[in-house]
Amino acid sequence: MPPRALEPSGVALVDKPSGPSSFAVVAQVRRLTGARTGHAGTLDPFATGLLLLLSGRSTKLTPRLVGLDKRYVAEIDLTARTETGDPEGEIVERHEPPAQDELEDRLESLRGEVALPIPAASAVKIGGERAYKLARRGVEVEMPVRRSTVHSLEIVAYARERVTLDLLVSSGTYVRSLASELGGHCMSLRRTEVGPFSVEDAVAPEAFTVERLLPEATVLEQV
């Protein structure tokens, strides 16, 4: 089968583990199907959860899926910021965690329309080069601000130094930026929903089979 075949086609719901990049998961599925394979939004290597992968002819659905809202569960360390906003970066600031009422005020300010700087350790291009590559070389740049919508932002668990949040956000929202606004960094991040699709219906990359592909008609009925 040609490496960029148009069949099999459909959309795969894959539960990405922590560690590999989203592109590594895409490549894993591509090797299995032999078809061209795309995605409707990546996850950072440390993050887990739902990836929508598009196979064969269904890659044309990318514009319909990439802009869907996304739901996450994030555990945030409120005592330190890191240079990347996640556990992989160097700690750049330590402090006492905010009191609960202050935390509630910060959360309230992050609901609705927000404008937050894009993390330096991101794939956004600055002057034609990926921001994370500049960051790795120690090049300091002023990161652009991205506007997004936080539809809901609720506390799941709170233990003074750490808080677990359930949040529903528009596409393109950096949860790491939200964590930084709270004075901390993401310790873990799990994407549980993309639009109407749930991670509960996804399978681990190694468990994926062609039979798991959702037909285009089924996907379009839901979006």
Catalytic residues: 44
CA distance 120 to 109: 23
Give the HSE-up count for residue 179: Cα atoms under 13 Å, Cβ half-sphere: 32
Q: What is the CA radius of gyration of the chain?
A: 18
Q: Cα dist. 192→15, 64, 199, 204 in Å?
A: 9, 19, 5, 14
